[in-house]
Amino acid sequence: MSAVMNATAAEMNERSEGVWRAAWRRFKTDRVGLVSMGVVAIFLVMILLSATGVVARNFQQEVAVPNAPPSFLGARAAEKAAAAVAAPLTPNVDLSDIDPLAPRYAEWAEKAKQYHTTETVKATTLPLGADRLGRDVLSKAQKGTEISVFVGVLAALVATILGTLLGASAGFFGKKVDDFLEWLYNVFTAIPDILLIFAFAAVLGRGIGTVVLILGLTGWTSLYRQVRAEFIKHRQREYVRAAEAIGASSFSRMFRHILPNVSHVVLVRMSLMVVGFIKSEVILSYLGLGVPVDQVSWGTMLAESQAELILGYWWQLAAATVFMAVFVTAFSLMADAWRDALDTKLRGQE
Amino acid sequence: MLAYLIRRLWQMIPTLIGVVLLVFVLFKYFGSDPAVILAGQNATQAQIAAIRQQLGLDQPAWFQLWIFIKQIATFDWGKSWATNEAVSHLFATRMPATLTVMIPIVLLDTILAIPVALGVAYVRGSWTDRTLMVATTIALSISFLVYVIIGQYVFGFQLGWFPVQGWSDSTLTNLIVYCPLPVLLAVAVGISPQTRLYRTFFLDELSHDYVRTARAKGLSERSVLFKHVLRNAMIPILTNVGLALPGIFVGSFLIEFFFSIPGMGREVLLAVNRSDYPVIQASAVYLAMMTMLVNLATDLLYKVVDPRVVLK
Amino acid sequence: MLLSIQNLKVAFRMGRVNGEMVRAEAVGRGGESVSFDVPENSTVALVGESGSGKSVTAMSILNLLPKNAERSGQVLWRGKNLLEATPAELRALRGAEIACVFQDPMSSLNPVFTVGQQLVETLKVHLSLSAKAALARAEQLLQEVGIPEPARRLKAYPHELSGGQQQRVMIAMALACEPKLLIADEPTTALDVTIQRQIIELLASLKARHKMSVLFISHDLGLVGEIADHVVVMRQGTVREAGTTAELFSAPKDPYTKALLACRPSLDHNPPRLMVIDDYIQGRAARTDSKAKDPAAPVVLEVKSLAKSFFMKEGLFGKREFKAVRNVNFKLRKGHTLGVVGESGSGKTTMGLTLLRLHEPTSGEVIFDGKNLLALSAAERQLMRRRIQIVFQNPYASLNPRFTIGQALIEPMRIHGIGKDDRDREQRARELLVKVGLDGRAFGKYPHEFSGGQRQRVAIARCLSLNPEVLVLDESVSALDVSVQAQVLNLLKDLQDELGLSYIFISHDLSVVRFISDEVLVMKDGEVVEQAGVEEILHAPKQEYTRKLISAVPKGWQGAAA
């Protein structure tokens, strides 16, 4: 038999690194992954700032002339010309004898003095330009990022929790529970996705909360399928049988034993869902079925930009596209890197 | 085989019942009161009550469900609340337009699948492969909307190669004049996700033992790749295409919306905006049925693709 | 000399760490490399345990290794160095002059092409035969390898054949172009022992008829002793000893070889404990003490008419019954071991799982301590779980990869309320680890840091934490290397002597069963074929099947003085 060695107390208590720490160590060697995670972190900071109102609080205000170009392009020449209205050559004609309102002008002028109006000077250029109402595109893009990403992440969370719980139950218990959940799954997947989303949108209306609910309630099916398959696979595995043999309860077997072994699959799928739901929200908002009128998202920006493009104003389209592309690309690359770090089999080796 | 077919058809019934229930419950308990919607903005209570009685909404819930089921079975959906057009007529006139656009898209996607898959397998592990992966990631991060907006602007508006929007009554004209731009845009956007997916399928297959056996028999790398691996990779590839098939009936509502094509997708979109419940309900139920039938057909054809499949 | 391997070294590129390329050596460690010869018309066996590099050596001949492999040295095929051959030259050799048969025929055959298509492919590539001629030759080949109804089988897909038939097809594919050398990489490891015997005999007759050489890779010394002319023993990437079979088996020189030969349980003699590699290398003698078994010990477990059926859907609405276990009866005495032996599909594993109610039995009784285990309430069943436990086959799957060893050991104690608090349980866990031969430091480590044998010890420790009386061992040593197997078997015997445990030992390996059991149950197709004391079964088997099973076991080199 192997000899038993004497060990110090410290050695007795040493713990090896778990799966997550080992994955983090592997992740750190992937430069692309690290850069992507950095970019995502920057976006998260911006979202936090936007949510707390530090930036983009006044995205609704019309602070510039309509369709003001971005600063690096310089203000439009026509604007400058239009700003100066040609002065009249002769004084105005006096019409007080035929003008029925003439007697009351003096009274009104007095009353008008009581109201304080602020004449805001409309800017002729903004960092990223202005939309057709003169609102700051940069602020809108930042706010839109907050809304779109928030919806995407929250919806993914809802769908993940739903899909995981249902998938675990179906995969682990099998038989009647599985039959019922399979029926539910078949019902939800029989109706084409878009139609299901539209049906929910038709009855629930607009609003951020409803969009999250709609996407979450219609998007759980793919994760359900995967989690169910994983639980069926693991249920047969010997470590679960061993747990049953020593008397562990069903709950313990499902969530203390199997779930940690399946969690990396769930996380990868959830990151895919975040990307998918962000894109869905953009489309829903574009169609007017998503965020309410008083909010902005990348989708509403794209909706406005279509008309602007014909007139030659491309900056809102560019801003929304670039913000979205950078975030989604960074997020996807980061998720890929995490998946590779968690997956010990080396892909691309062959 | 026959037993399998009968069992599958038999199993469709509970699902169909589920779909009907889902649609019914969704619209009845979460939707607005149809009587209020139909009555319009300035209706009086008496008018609303009258409409309610006419629609049978004052009846108990199970009776309404029964009427609902009867309507489905007899294909009588009443009329659209917005246009007063018979819903069945709506289906009949809109579906051809959708199919005229979608069938070319699915065909092109399937035909392109093989060269894309071959290309992906051929360049694997090289710099081209890695550049491709980054390029597809970026391409996928841009919303479909942007592609259509820019595509329409550049090819339709600026260059004038295709009409920006439009539709005609002749299928041939549609195919030649009005379909090319939307079809090309849809296929172009679809290439990115396909490339990534097929690459995964190929890498999976390459790790199997039979690849080593094929090499051990003295076959060239090309033979191993394009004969042995491709044939096995076609199984998940065709599964993927099969999954996309039921989608052709709804079509791409975005494409129809942008290009003003009078198809089912656009119709449903309009119905949602107008709270036109009968149209949405009918679409949901009938398309669910079509989906199930198409899935059954692809499952039966599966046996041709994968000899290991046993249909029992 | 047909094939001469000289100074071969193979390393795998594992990626860069801190800018440096890290390599894992598979063949050739440190300064040593691998050299041996394969003469014409002879069988050379490459023997070793897992990690010895035997498969990598064989695959490097034709360069069937993954892309990150680096080879150095010389592989001389009829004088030409294959390491310098162009890909085209290698392809001309593969399948034509040198052919391969692999371990798992199910995954080695392409599932979407028929048997005929795969056979014809080789013929077309190398011999340029027409389609019709190729098909005719394919049918001929199938006949030669002993497949009945060859014409019909040509149109079959691999999954429609049994494991043995699939391997015959692989052999037919390898023979198609009359190769001079056949590389067989563990061709029978995945097959039942009776099928194994058939395949071995087939290979021997084909070798004689075609006058080809065979490079036979295996971990099973017994098998190798029967069929090889020369033997090369490898350990951890280097050659320990090479010579004719007679030399090696009768007078081995290297301590590792001696240990490998001695630590196999065999049907011939029954030592109280098996020799272990460490013992041999350090020159210790085998232990000769052992407690005698009391033939009149009380019966702890009695099984009556146990049956288990699985129901599968068939036809439109019907169900088909598959009887996995039918009418099993036996008595287990305290401190004794009942060996259950059978091939795949015999129902032995299902029976073991049913005893613990991991499968629900269809009918029958299991009387334990006066109570019928199959009729207990949930609370009583939980109590019973403490007293009868199970150790599974696959050491890589029976421990939760996300639990530390300590967590795995504490969990059962916590569930059943053993020990005052967690600190007390930790203390007990560490003691158990020492008892099974690991050191207490394993407590904080994860399963993937341990080898198969060590993990099985942890699994045993986990069972012991509940102080059971009966232990079901379901193929618990089948996945282990021979030397590790010996250690675990010795451990089991020690624990039985010390704690008075009763074992139900399920295995397909008759030699192992013989070593550890007092009584033996032979199962086939769910039924008990024969049941008797171990000596009686071995020397005076009554049933035909039992006799067949005994004769199929590889005996090793028989030699002149057998």
DSSP state of C128: -
User: What are the Cα distances from residue A211, in Å, to A7, A281, B257?
Assistant: 59, 7, 21
**Range in A213-217, B195-199, C426-430 the model is least confident about:** B195-199
Q: Say whether pLDDT at B55 is over 80.
A: no
- Asked if C110's CB is within 8 angstroms of B214's CB, the reply is yes
User: Would the pLDDT of B312 be above 70?
Assistant: no
Q: Is the pLDDT of residue A89 over 80?
A: no
- Report pLDDT for C492: 92
Give the dihedral of Cα atoms C190, C196, C200, C201; nearest 10 deg.
-160
Secondary structure (3-state) at A321: helix
- Distance in angstroms (rounded) separating the CA atoms of residues C205 and C485: 33
Residue C318: pLDDT above 90?
A: no
CA A179 vs CA A42, A183, A190, A236, B74: distances in Å: 46, 6, 16, 19, 30
Q: What is each CA distance from C211 to C139, C177, C198, C561, in whole angstroms?
A: 21, 13, 20, 28
Residues of C in contact with A237 (CB under 8 A): 397
pLDDT at C261 over 90: no
* Length of chain B (residues): 312
* Cβ-contact B265, B253 below 8 angstroms: yes
Q: How many other CB atoms are there within 10 angstroms of residue B68's CB atom?
A: 19
Please report the pLDDT score of residue B39 as a whole number: 72
Return the SS3 of C530.
Answer: strand
Amino acid A328: pLDDT: 93
Q: Phi and psi of B105, rounded to 5°?
A: -65, -45
pLDDT at A69 (0 to 100): 79
Does the structure show a pLDDT above 70 at B211?
yes
DSSP letter (8 states) at residue A252: I
The label of the residue with tokens 């639980």 reads: A231
Interchain pair C94, B217: CB under 8 A: yes
Nearest residue to C502 via CA among C388, C391, C365, C370: C388
Interface contact B123, partner A, CB < 8 A: no
Distance CA C448, CA A166 (A): 30
> CB distance A261–C394 less than 8 Å?
no
Of residues A184, A191, A305, nearest to B284 (C-beta): A191
If you count DSSP H runs as helices and E runs as strands, how many of each does chain B have, helices first? Answer: 15, 0
- Rounded to an integer, the average pLDDT of B275-296 is 84
Q: C272 falls in which pLDDT band (50, 70, 90)?
A: confident
Q: Under a CB-based contact definition with an 8 Å cutoff, are residues B183 and B107 in contact?
A: no
Q: Which of C397, C416, C490 sits opposite A247 (nearest CB)?
A: C416
Burial string for C479-515 (b: 16+ CB within 10 Å, else e) reads bbbbbbbbbbbbbbbbbbeeeebbbbbbbbbbbbbbb
pLDDT at A3 (0 to 100): 36
Q: What is the pLDDT of residue C390?
A: 92
- Model ipTM value: 0.82
* Percent of chain A's residues with pLDDT above 70: 89
Partner B contacted by C310 (CB < 8 A): no
Residue partners of B254: CB distance under 8 A and separation at least 6? A283, B144, B145, B148, B265
Instruction: State yes or no: pLDDT of A120 exceeds 50.
Output: yes
- pLDDT tier, A83 (very low <50, low <70, confident <90, very high otherwise): low
Q: Is residue C44 a contact partner of residue C58, using CB atoms and an 8 Å limit?
A: no
Mean pLDDT over B180-208 rounds to 86
- Of these ranges, A71-85, C251-265, C533-547, the one predicted with the greatest mean pLDDT is C533-547
Which domains, ranges and CATH numbers included, belong to chain C? 299-561 (3.40.50.300)
CA distance A194 to chain B (A): 8
List phi, psi (to 5°) of A125: -140, 155
Q: In this complex, which of A187, A198, A289 lies closest to B280 when CB atoms are compared?
A: A198
Report residue A84's pLDDT band, with 50, 70 and 90 as the boundaries.
low
H/E segment holding residue C520: strand C519-524
> Which residue in chain B has the smallest CA separation from C102?
B213
Of C96, C313, C314, the CB nearest to B218: C96
- In terms of Cβ atoms closer than 10 Å to its own Cβ (0-12, 13-18, 19+), residue B110 is middle
Task: Please state, in angstroms and rounded to a whole number, the distance separating the CA atoms of residues C481 and C479.
Answer: 7
What value does the mean pLDDT take over residues C41-51? 90
The arithmetic mean of pLDDT across residues A81-85, rounded, is: 58
Residue-level pLDDT at C401 = 87
**Identity of the residue in A2, A257, A349 whose CB atom sits nearest the CB atom of C400:** A257
Structure token digits, residue A281: 């929200």
CA distance A346 to chain C (A): 10
Q: Count Cβ atoms below 10 Å from residue B311 Cβ, excluding itself.
A: 13
Indicate yes or no: CB of B149 within 8 angstroms of CB of A317: yes
| Beta-carbon contacts below 8 Å between A and B | 131
**What's residue C287's pLDDT?**
65
Binary contact (C157, B307; C-beta < 8 A):
yes
> Which residues in A have their CB inside 8 Å of a CB on C?
1-2, 4-5, 7, 11-16, 18-19, 237-239, 241-248, 257, 260-261, 346, 349-350
pTM of the model: 0.83
In this structure, which amino acid lies at residue B173?
A: T
Asked if residues A156 and A266 have their Cβ atoms less than 8 Å apart, the reply is no
Q: How far apart are CA C380 and CA C360, in angstroms?
A: 16
Question: What's residue A8's pLDDT?
Answer: 54
Query: How much of chain C exceeds pLDDT 70, in percent?
Result: 95
pLDDT at position A2 is 35
* Calpha distance B165→B268 (Å, rounded): 19
Q: Distance (Å, rounded) from C-alpha C284 to C-alpha C301?
A: 38
- Phi, psi (5° rounding) for residue C7? 50, 45
Rounded to whole angstroms, the Cα distance separating A186 from B8 reads 13
- Count the Cβ atoms, other than its own, within 10 Å of residue C130: 10
The region that residue A307 occupies, defined by phi over 0 for left and psi between -120 and 50 for alpha, beta otherwise, is alpha
More confident residue, A81 or C451: C451
- State the pLDDT confidence band at C360, using cuts at 50, 70 and 90: confident
How close C201 gets to chain A, by Cα (Å)? 36
Please compute the mean of the pLDDT values over residues C170-189 and round it to a whole number: 92
